[in-house]
Structure 1
Amino acid sequence: MEKLRVDIEEAGYEGRSGVIRNVSFRVGSGELVGLIGPNGAGKSTTIKAVLGLLKDVKGKVEFAGGKPSYAYIPEQPVLYEELTLWEHLRLAASAFGMDEQAFEERAGALLARFRLEQAKHDLPSSFSKGMQQKLMLIIGFLHEPDLYIVDEPFIGLDPRAVKDFLDMLETERRRGAGVLMSTHVLDTAEKICSSFLLVNDGRLIAQGDLDAIRESCGLPGGSLFECFQTMT
């Protein structure tokens, strides 16, 4: 079952139309689709177009059932200085329409998974970058959406937190959620992604599983990093 269908003819910004062109792809149930490309290739613009944050979009973005059910995990943590960690989670739960019991159980389990139980009543503005990023992950996982849109999630995370994140993603994929993830960590992407979208100069230049990417760049047996280097 498709969780996301994207057919963008053109998208951009005021004064900069056509930053991305002819970008079409699908994210299915249980799929982890890696969005990769060099800086300035159009990855962030693609994500913003999917999220509905751009005014100048020609094309269609459709979610499963016609109703968006997604979590967006940004590259840079977005925090309220006056709210504690727990208050951030309660605010998110309220926005998601979660009932109190479901919130308490889910939030408690996620805090334990990411080892932030002792900091639940502290202000995240005083946290390390890694702890702030873990809070963003917890908020994203809180309401178990149909789709995760994740932008460079590994920045600031220590190896144990990376494993916790990847284990949670795998659990959500088994539940049937789809994942669209932008990342520069190509060795990890090669291991965990079911397919890839390779973007360069605002265009989708290759897509498919690793074998399809290898065929597109003429590198049978090549790594994702080698394919990336060849095609960009």
Structure 2
Amino acid sequence: MTLEVSHVVGGYSQIPVLKDISFDVKDGELVGLIGLNGAGKSTTINHIIGLLTPFSGTISINGITIAENDQLYKQQIAYIPETPVLYPELTLREHIELTIMAYRLNQEEAWQKANELLKTFRLDNKLDWFPSNFSKGMRQKVMIVCAFITNANLFIIDEPFMGLDPLAKSDLLAEMDKKKRAGASILMTTHVLETAQQYCDRFVLLHDGQVRVEGTLKELHEAFPDSGESLNDIYLSLTKKAGQTE
């Protein structure tokens, strides 16, 4: 098992946004973290990557918590944020070199992976470009390339399809599938529920800082038998019922 979130209560200052949430992401599995704006998805991610410390509960990757070994914990994670974060003074080439150094990767092997990914995402002729030259979609592709050259055990991908054209979206899904088949775990947030339904192995549905339900699409159907067939139908049914009880 790669990621285990156990009874986590957390948030900002002393205000609990997450209310005793628990879920896991196993090896070779793509899990969709689904929820409306404000449901707690970003707060959950910020706790997993170490930007926030839980008030209580534990988060571990392959049995290691950030408190036990900060460096080893973080080296197991590759994170693609919703909004690309690039250094304006570094070229694409230098971003890749920085990633290689940060993750202590083998230079030759990492650049071989990088060159393949650069061709896939049509960035191979832009190695000496600076972020100011890139569109939002191209910046997103830079983040994708830097994440996928690593040997991370856990990939956290936040709203990955924002700004990507249909071809880049297809390429990203193919790369995610390769990582899955190699045994990596992926936690993905997205509002594109049709795509999530097609590609995710399991789902964690967040509402108001709580895990309302988790499982495969079949298990979600069993939990909400009166909802429609799609993930979108199930989530709408969940949020409406939750709103009626609050």
State TM-score, norm by structure 1: 0.95
Deviations for 1:51-110, whole angstroms, at most 9, x for unmatched residues? 121134311111115242110110000011111111111011110101221122111111
Corresponding residue for 1:63? 61
Distance 1:178 1:219 in 2: 32
Does the 8 Å CA contact 1:13/1:55 hold for their aligned counterparts? no
Deviations for 1:94-137, whole angstroms, at most 9, x for unmatched residues? 10101221122111111111110111111122211100000111
Corresponding residue for 1:121? 128
Aligned equivalent of 1:89, options 91, 96, 115 = 96
1:205 aligns with 2:212: yes
Q: Provide the secondary structure at the position in 2 that maps to 1:61.
A: strand
Q: Provide the secondary structure at the position in 1 that maps to 2:17.
A: strand
Does the 8 Å CA contact 1:37/1:43 hold for their aligned counterparts? yes
Distance 1:169 1:222 in 2: 25
Q: Provide the secondary structure at the position in 1 that maps to 2:204.
A: strand
Corresponding residue for 2:13? 14
1:3 aligns with 2:10: no
Does the 8 Å CA contact 1:8/1:57 hold for their aligned counterparts? no
1:46-195 aligned within 5 A = 46-64=44-62, 66=64, 67-68=72-73, 69-195=76-202
The CA deviation at 1:217 is 2.1
* Structure 2, unpaired ranges of 5+: 65-71, 240-246
State TM-score, norm by structure 2: 0.90
Q: Provide the secondary structure at the position in 2 that maps to 1:108.
A: helix
1:228 aligns with 2:238: no
* Structure 1, unpaired ranges of 5+: none
Deviations for 1:134-179, whole angstroms, at most 9, x for unmatched residues? 0111111011211101110000000000010000000000000010
Distance 2:7 2:86 in 1: 31
Answer with 147-156 or 96-105: which moved more.
Answer: 96-105
Corresponding residue for 2:21? 23
Q: Number of aligned pairs?
A: 230
The CA deviation at 1:180 is 0.5
The CA deviation at 1:219 is 3.5
Aligned AA (1:210): L
Does the 8 Å CA contact 1:32/1:180 hold for their aligned counterparts? yes
Distance 2:201 2:48 in 1: 20
